[in-house]
Amino acid sequence: MSPPGRTMDEYRSAKPEGAPASDIDSLLRTRLSPLAPAVLEIHDDSAAHAGHAGAAAGGGHFSLVIVSKTFSGVSRLERHQRVLREVADLVPYPIHALSIRALAPEEFPSQP
């Protein structure tokens, strides 16, 4: 599925130097909402990969932590597959690389 209201070609041409991280953050939050995350942290790691071929082509490097009840009793592989199903068409552009840490609520430390 393309970003809401635009095809991927339109999205690419509107952001030739790469989509701003804030746009991708919003897009990831929207796309991952069906997983009902209790926690969703998204980090743009692109600066650490400057000069990398994927970065030069405009794709960003991102990492995320997602905590959801839907991951309870589910293998790490299946968790990653569930996340990737929601964002697959965003790879390789605007996301070149995505690091995923998917946890069940009981695996995530409580914040005071």
Fold type of domain 8-107: GMP Synthetase; Chain A, domain 3 (3.30.300)
In this predicted structure, the answer to whether residue 28 has a pLDDT above a threshold of 60 is yes
**pLDDT classification of 99: cutoffs 50, 70, 90:** very high
Q: Structural domain boundaries of the chain?
A: 8-107
Per-chain mean pLDDT for the chain = 79
User: What pLDDT was estimated at residue 15?
Assistant: 39
Residues in the chain: 112
User: What pLDDT was estimated at residue 92?
Assistant: 84
